[in-house]
Amino acid sequence: MAVERSTMPVLPPAPPSRSRVLVKGLFGSVTNTAITLAILAVLAVILPELFRWAVLDSLWAPASPQSCIQGDGACWAFIQDKARLILFGRYPPAEHWRPILAMALWMGAIAVSADWRQWGRRHWPRFLLVLWAAVLLVDAVLMAGGAFGLREVPLEMWSGLPLTIMIATFGLSSAFVLSIFLALGRRSRLPVVRWLSIGYIEIIRGVPLISILFMAAVVLPIILPPDLVIDKIVRAQVAFFLFFAAYMAETIRGGLQSIPKGQYEAADALAMSYWQSMRRIIVPQALRVTVPSMVNIFISAFKDTSLVVIISMHDLLGTTNAATNDPVWLGVYVEAYVFTALIYLVFCFMMSWYSQRLEVHIKTGRR
Amino acid sequence: MSVVAEVPLPPFWRRPLLRDILWQTVIPLLLIAAIWFFVRNAGANLEKSSLVFGGSFLGGIASFELGSNLVGFAAGDPVYKALLVGIVNTLHVSVVAIVLATLLGILVGVARLSSNPLAAGLSRIYVEVARNVPLLLQLLFWYALITRALPSPRQAWELLPGFFLTNRGLNLPLPGPEPVYGWMLLAFASACVLVLGMEWRARRRPQSMPHRASRRPLRLALLVGAPALVFVLGGMPVSLDVPVMRGFGFHGGLSLPPEYVALLLGLTLYTGAFIAEIVRGGILGVHRGQIEAAEALGLSRGQCLRKIVLPQAMQIIVPPLGSQYVSLLKNSSLAVAIGYPDIVRVSTVVISETGHAIEMIGVMMIVYLLLSLITSALVNLYNRAVTREAR
């Protein structure tokens, strides 16, 4: 006697269709209808005007720069003319393939290092170290030239996007090393070490980056021996190093605090010394937790590299300003800033997309 | 038969106490050596350019102009007065931007959670773009837009009656020069002091004061009633100083230069996006069960938001909000790029006039440190009030 069972499982009601959800959200209630109508009214004013400026009245191939500037629409011809200047600045145009190749290698190395599936593999850190050393060497030769029949390009000529990427990566990677020691110092049981770390971190976090940049640009030459001349790019690098180390140290401190006490006790039980336990037990775990917030620091650091414009260096924003100062194209500003903003947007979006993916991965991995 | 394990003492250089002492002497010594090295070099370098380290140049005569300012500084005044202009300008733009960014952030943060897809989508686009483009680029963009794309004063855009936007900045109406308005301000300030005193006393000795629920209308009555009473007693004068186009520009009212408008706009839009994310996180952070419980108790949506969600969301929102305020204050230093005379701009002018770079950058850092400390102290104070009230 088989128990008669309904073969139809009890299903939850079918989800409403997408369009129905949309309509309900837009006009479902009095408030929503009012909001929708208000927004549509504003958009009806702005969007046609924007479309007219950016597309209908825009000029791609004007008879002369003059007619383009005086036109009513966007002067995209300016971007066509100046894109290479904005991207590479004073780097010799015939050699632009070199920074392109260098950046491609750089990005490739970043992509390989960012792949979290490989992080647990044996010898992976060592492999990355070798990879980065190789990429650095090849890139240095590519950018500077003077070997293998490549024309020599002095450091002052490096500008635009390659300079932005360079300042960001070098500043951040050097700051990372200092920040680990600062974070450990802040949690040290030695009062002198602890107070020095706290003082450094809090002072740096209390002042704007621009004051540190001025210090590197103006004060550093005064407090160093007179015969020691350091390039401006290196001095800016020092400023980023000092500045971001404080912010990263606070992030890493958060990671260190999240490590359960048992881990410290286990290291003690194994009779590990302080440095052994930090290097083998505590710091690796703390760093793993902090990667997503680290990426957020990377994003803000990448944006903040634009501040070197104020000490008259030619990073991506600096070359944009230089392009707008061309007397032939005088008066084209908005188009130039829109173009450069898009470049920054692409880079920052990539980083935040990665950070979100990684966060999900870490959360699911811990379960 | 007990075995007492003889633990051999480690050699003296591995004993913890000695190591602790060693670390704590070597690091300060290295630091002192580095500072001594820098000071010696600075001495030699300054001597070569015949500069004397010290603050006496601050009393010297400034030979530069900074445009119209609240301090009343002009060329010929001492240098420290120029610094004061810088500090006042930094505070001015920061405080206004903090208020506007908070309002914008709350609006957009709530809009992102709205059930209306248009409002949520547009807010999201704004937040993503504003957060991922460098602030400096945004400032330069707004400055270029205002000075290049806006009409001249003769064809000024009248946004609202009395509000004129031109390539020379923004002109807005001010309350007229009636003495009663000053008294109203004073009455409001006294009411604020009274309310704060009342709250403080209520916290110290709860029995001596009326209950919280009845204090709220009392507070409102004081804050609104006192100025209103002064207004009525003063004969209700209504006068407005509206900007008027005369000659080449606007006269009367409040005239904000394009640098100020661009800086205010940039700081507000940039920080507003970050605050929106904080607000959204705060509201989402309130446990779902709390809202369900409020519904079960029959609270209306407005009551639920006011009495259940917001007090708890505030506890999540206020601490990161405070750090946003501090970073807005520090970000106002980018004013130097568009020529607004904030503390950084004034310092660079003084440096190029007098050559005292170390001292001026030192002053600049101390000013920002103090302002950051004051800002976070105020936010902490508020945070304590918020967390206590919610308990």
Quick check: B128 contacting A, CB < 8 Å? yes
Q: pLDDT band at residue A52, thresholds of 50, 70 and 90? A: confident
Contacts of B364 (CB under 8 A, 6+ apart): A207, A211, A214, B343, B344, B347
pLDDT at residue number B388: 63
At residue B7, does pLDDT exceed 70?
no
Do residues A79 and A337 lie in contact, with contact meaning Cβ atoms separated by under 8 Å?
no
Chain A contacts in chain B segment 304-323 (CB below 8 A):
none
Q: What is d(CA B148, CA B100) in angstroms, rounded to the nearest whole number?
A: 25
To the nearest whole Å, the CA of B182 is away from the closest chain A CA by 36
Please state which of the ranges A21-35, A308-322, B203-217, B266-280 shows the lowest mean pLDDT.
Answer: B203-217
Residue whose structure tokens are 């850190």: A125
DSSP 8-state class, residue B68: S
Pick the range with the lowest mean pLDDT from A197-201, A219-223, A288-292, B242-246.
B242-246
B369/A206 CB distance under 8 A: yes
Q: How close is the nearest chain A Cα to the Cα of B341, in Å?
A: 15
B152 inside 8 A of chain A by CB: no
Amino acid identity for residue A363 in this structure: K
Q: How far apart are CA B103 and CA A61, in angstroms?
A: 44
**Helix, coil or strand: residue B163:** strand
What average pLDDT does range A183-192 have in this prediction?
87
A79: number of CA atoms within 13 Å, CB side? 18
Q: Stretch B326-336: mean pLDDT, rounded? A: 92
CA distance B128 to chain A (A): 8
Of the partner residues B149, B344, B369, the one whose CB lies closest to the CB of residue A334: B149
Minimum CA–CA partner of B14 in chain A:
A273
**Dist. CA B278–CA B313, nearest whole Å:** 10
Instruction: For residue A55, give how far its alpha carbon lies from the nearest alpha carbon of chain B (Å).
Output: 18
ipTM of predicted assembly, 2 dp: 0.85
Taking residues B162-187, what's their average pLDDT? 80
Contact A218 B357 (CB under 8 A): yes
Mean pLDDT along residues A331-352: 88
Averaged over A40-51, what is the pLDDT? 87
Q: What is the mean pLDDT of residues A335-362?
A: 87
Min Cα separation B191/chain A (Å): 34
Task: Lowest mean pLDDT of A242-246, A256-260, B207-211, name the range.
Answer: B207-211
CB contact (8 A) between residue B24 and residue A208: no
The whole-angstrom separation of Cα A276 and Cα B374 is 41
Q: Per-residue pLDDT averaged across B169-180, rounded?
A: 78
pLDDT, position A85: 83
pLDDT of residue B391: 47
Residue B115 sits at the chain A interface (C-beta within 8 Å): yes
**Could you tell me the pLDDT band of residue B331, with boundaries at 50, 70 and 90?**
very high
Predicted local confidence at residue A260, as pLDDT? 85
Report which of B351, B329, B346 is spatially closest to residue B91, judged by C-alpha positions: B329
Q: For B213-245, what is each residue's pLDDT tens digit?
A: 677 788 888 888 888 888 888 777 777 777 777
B28 at A interface, C-beta within 8 A: yes
∠ CA A50-A52-A55 to the nearest 5 degrees?
A: 95
What's the mean per-residue pLDDT of chain A?
83
Q: Which residues of chain A are within 8 Å of residue B337 when distances are taken between CB atoms?
A: 309-310
Average pLDDT over residues A168-194: 89
Instruction: Give the closest of A36, A206, A333 to B144, CB-based.
Output: A333
In this prediction, residues B305-322 reach a mean pLDDT of 85
Residues in A closer than 8 angstroms to B39, CB to CB, are: 223
Q: Which of A148-152, A311-315, B136-140 has the lowest mean pLDDT?
A: A148-152
Q: Kindly tell me if the per-residue pLDDT of A175 is higher than 70.
A: yes
- Between CA A358 and CA A114 the distance in angstroms is 9
Helices (H) and strands (E) in chain B, counts: 12, 8
Q: Do B148 and A214 touch (CB under 8 A)?
A: no
Candidates B255, B309, B258, B311; CA nearest to B286 is B309
What is the gyration radius of the CA atoms in chain A, in angstroms? 27
Position A367 scores a pLDDT of 44
Q: Directed axis angle between helix A76-88 and helix A316-324, to 10°? A: 140
> Per residue in B343-358, pLDDT tens?
999 998 888 888 888 8
Residue B260 and residue B92: Cα distance in Å, rounded? Answer: 10
Buried b / exposed e over B288-307, threshold 16 CB at 10 Å, is eeebeebeeeebeeeebbee
CB-based burial, B34-68: b 16+ in 10 Å, e otherwise: eeeebeebbeebbeeeebeeeeebbeeebeeebee
Q: What is the average per-residue pLDDT within B194-216? A: 77
Can you tell me which residue has the tokens 């919610």? B390
Q: What predicted TM-score, i.e. pTM, was given to this entire model?
A: 0.85
Query: Residues 48 to 87 of B: which have CB under 8 A from any A CB?
Result: 48
Phi, psi at B247, each rounded to 5° = 65, -120
Q: Encoding tokens for residue A219?
A: 């004060």
Residues listed for chain B: 391
Model pLDDT, residue A1 = 46
Nearest CA distance, A5 vs chain B (angstrom): 36
pLDDT value at position B383? 82
- Confirm if B165 and B142 have CB atoms less than 8 A apart: no
What is the 3-state secondary structure of chain A?
CCCCCCCCCCCCCCCCCHHHHHHHHHHCCHHHHHHHHHHHHHHHHHHHHHHHHHHHCCECCCCCHHHHHHCCCCEHHHHHHHHHHHHHCCCCHHHCHHHHHHHHHHHHHHHHHHCHHHCCCCCHHHHHHHHHHHHHHHHHHHHHCCCCCCCCCCHHHCCEHHHHHHHHHHHHHHHHHHHHHHHHHHCCCCHHHHHHHHHHHHHHHHCCHHHHHHHHHHHHHHHCCCCCCCCHHHHHHHHHHHHHHHHHHHHHHHHHHCCCHHHHHHHHHCCCCHHHHHHHHHHHHHHHHHHHHHHHHHHHHHHHHHHHHHHCCCEHHHHHHHHHCCHHHCCCCHHHHHHHHHHHHHHHHHHHHHHHHHHHHHHHHHC
B56-B61-B67 Cα angle (round to 5):
125
Whether the CB-CB separation of A47 and B122 falls below 8 Å is answered with: no
* Dihedrals phi, psi of A124, to nearest 5 degrees: -65, -45
Q: Predicted confidence band at A7 (pLDDT cuts at 50, 70, 90)?
A: low
- State the average pLDDT over residues B358-367: 90
Tens digit of each residue's pLDDT (9 = 90 or more) over A116-137: 777 778 888 888 889 888 888 8
Element (H, E) at B350: helix B343-354
The fraction of chain A above a pLDDT of 90, given in percent, is 10
A215 to chain B, minimum CA–CA distance in Å? 7
Q: What angle do CA A242, A246, A250 make, to 5 degrees?
A: 160
pLDDT digits (tens, 9 = 90+) for B99-113: 999 999 999 998 888
Lowest mean pLDDT among A36-40, A273-277, A360-364: A360-364
Burial class (CB in 10 A: 0-12, 13-18, 19+), B112: buried
Which among B24, B119, B140 has CB closest to A193?
B24
- The residue among A337, A343, A345, A349 with the most chain B CBs within 10 A of its CB, best to mutate, is A337
- Averaged pLDDT for residues B170-193: 83
Tell if the CB–CB gap between A221 and B45 is shorter than 8 Å: yes
Q: List B241's β-bridge partners, or say none.
A: B174
Identify the helix (H) or strand (E) that includes residue B36.
Answer: helix B16-48
- Classify residue A151 as left (phi > 0), alpha (psi -120 to 50) or beta: beta
Chain A hits for B145, Cβ within 8 Å: 333-334
Q: Which of A296, A346, A78, A300 is nearest to B136 (CA)?
A: A300
**Average pLDDT, stretch A215-228?**
83
- Interval A258-279 mean pLDDT: 85
Residues 355-374 of B with CB under 8 A from A: 357-358, 361, 364-365, 368-369, 372-373
Whether residue B53 contacts residue B350, with contact meaning beta carbons closer than 8 Å, is answered with no
Alpha carbons A153 and A142: distance in angstroms, whole number? 9
Q: If you average pLDDT over residues B73-98, what whole number do you get?
A: 87
Q: Which residue of B has its CA nearest to A188?
A: B20
User: What is the structure's pLDDT at A143?
Assistant: 81
What pLDDT is stored for residue A3 in this prediction?
55
pLDDT of residue B262: 93
Q: Supply the pLDDT for residue B44.
A: 82
